[in-house]
Every structure is written in C-alpha cells, then in structure tokens.
Amino acid sequence: MLKILLNECLIDFSIKTETPILIKSGMERVEDADMFPIMTFRNGRDEVFIPGSSLKGVMRSHAEKITRTLRQGKEPGCCNPFEKKDNGKPDYACTSYFEEYKKKENIKKLDAMRAYRMSCLICRLFGSTEHASRLMFRDVYLRDGSSATIEKRSGVGIDRFTGGVASGPFELKVVSHAEFETQIYLRNFELWQLGLLAYVFKDFDNGLCSIGYGKSRGFGKVIGKVNRVELRYLGKNKPSVPNIRGIRKLLEENEYGFYDKENKDFKVAELANSGGDEFGLRQIYSFADDARISSLWETVVPIWNKRVDDYQWTREV
C-alpha cells in the first residue's frame, strides 16, 4: 500500500511470563515429551522464542474483541466469518466479500486503494488476503543475558461429556521464568490505529492476554509492556513538537478512504524527545518513559473511540 513512506512507528515491547507457557513446535524431534516448545539457535545455543506470527495472532484476536465490544448494538467493525447470510455466505467477512466483488466486477485482483477502502477496521491494520498488514512483528527472543526455565509437566485430555479421560496421559515441556523482547513496526499509519493498539497493550500490561497452548489449564499468562515508542516522519511534511499527525494529514488526496477527522495535528501533553536521523530523511519523536508513552496513548485513544463509533459497514455486493 502506497509506494512511498510517509510515517512509521517503532514499538519496543517486552513480555514476561507469569505462568508457564508453551508455543508448541511443529517439527518432529526425538524427545522425552509429547509436546515441547519451539526453539531456535541463537547466541551460540538453543533458545526458546515466540514466533512473531504467534504474537500477531494474539493481538489481532484481542483487537477484534475490543472492536466488537465497542460496537455493541451496531453492525460489527471487524470480520465475523461465522455469521451467515440467508444464502449461507459469510455476511461480515472481508475475504468472502472481496471474492464476491471480484466476481461481480469480473476482475482478478483488487487494487490497493479499493482493497483498503472496502476493508473492515481490523483488516485495515492487520491485513487480509487482498493487502498486506500495516503491522510487522519480529520474532520474540529472550532478553539479552537472560535465560528461561524449561520444566516437564504431565497432563490428560478430559472428555467434556463424561468427565473421564479422553486422551493421555502425556508429557509436555513448558517455559517459565522467562523475559522476552521484540519490536513491532507500523508503517503509513492512521492515528486511530495507534489508539486501538494502546487498548491491546493496556490489556497485556494488566495480564489479560494469554499466549500459546493450554490457556484453560492456567498456562500462557504473560505481562506485556511497551518500553519505547518512536514516531518517524519522512519527507518534508512533518509536524512540529509537541504535535503528531497521521497519514491523512500527510496526503492531499484521500483515495484510500483514510479517516477524514484526522486531517489535522494533535497535541501530545508530554513533549517527546525529537531529532533527525544522520541522513536527514526522518524526523524522530521518541517516547521513552512511562509518562510520555501514557501521554501518547491519551492523545490517540480518543481518536480510536471516535473512529470505531463513526465506522459504517458498507457493502456493495
């Protein structure tokens, strides 16, 4: 989407295990357990890690729940592939809608502008079959200099109807006492998208988001924390401190259907450290402590609240 970079957001994010977690490996190995964590070779040793795709899946799922919660009593603001039309086709699913639209218009692929305009709020941020995600998640590795404890647990599968053993017993290896860190990259963003992410990060910080296998068994509870946020503006159209702006304010035309109420600057209460990169391409606004990060969220969350309230689910097929 877009052949130029106008703004970027880089988020340093850390995860600490509160209970054992298990991101299961899909590879076959000679192990003394039936289930074991995914590993990678790093820093001269085998290490556990969390794939970026796993973190993205958890964040997308939680963002969908938040969106549906704020849209109660209205048409949803995100895909729901399980809600069917009278003809049996999904009513609120972007992928199915795109396929119907392409058949109607006799085209093989949607152009990026049309795909974005026609997408739900979640697909505009996390991507779909027709356009790439605005978010990129790096793999989540152990914090430099730290280690994790891997311990063996036993388990059985319970038949929900009889209450008896359905499968097992089996052995599994879980990861505990681990601290991970990663970076999340967002490009050409709208400010409401930062506001939605602020909701997700807040729930991670409160321990409300779980990762991996066995959540109902008490596995997977983590605490996630945003340690640093950098907003980067490229080119000549840059806001002055303490203002920030989304991509709508950076473009004259609005062929993508960006949120028009963002066509202005928004003031952040806590001044951000700012500076340019060594080549002069980027102007960087850095939010590197809790107070400044909170002031950023306090600016963008109301924009998301207004965006999700204003959103109208329109379909042409």
Distance CA 215, CA 97 (A): 33
Q: What is the pLDDT of residue 310?
A: 94
Average pLDDT per block of 10 residues along the chain, 317 residues long? 87 96 75 78 90 95 95 85 64 84 90 90 92 93 91 73 65 91 97 98 96 87 97 88 94 92 94 83 92 96 97 73
Q: Phi and psi of 59, rounded to 5°?
A: -70, -40
Residues 6+ apart with CB under 8 A from 201: 13, 224, 226, 297
Q: What is the pLDDT of residue 137?
A: 96
Q: What is the pLDDT of residue 178?
A: 95
What pLDDT sits at residue 184? 98
Backbone Cα Rg of the chain: 22
Name the one residue in this structure whose structure tokens are 């379909």: 315
pLDDT at 163: 62
CA dihedral over 299, 57, 186, 128, signed as positive or negative: negative
The model carries a pTM of: 0.91
Cα gap 128→48, rounded to integer Å: 29
Whose tokens are 């218009």? That residue is 105
CA distance 26 to 28: 7
Q: What are phi and psi of 36, to 5 degrees?
A: -145, 155
pLDDT at 89: 58
In whole angstroms, give the CA distance from residue 49 to residue 148. 10
Domain boundaries defined on the chain? 7-310
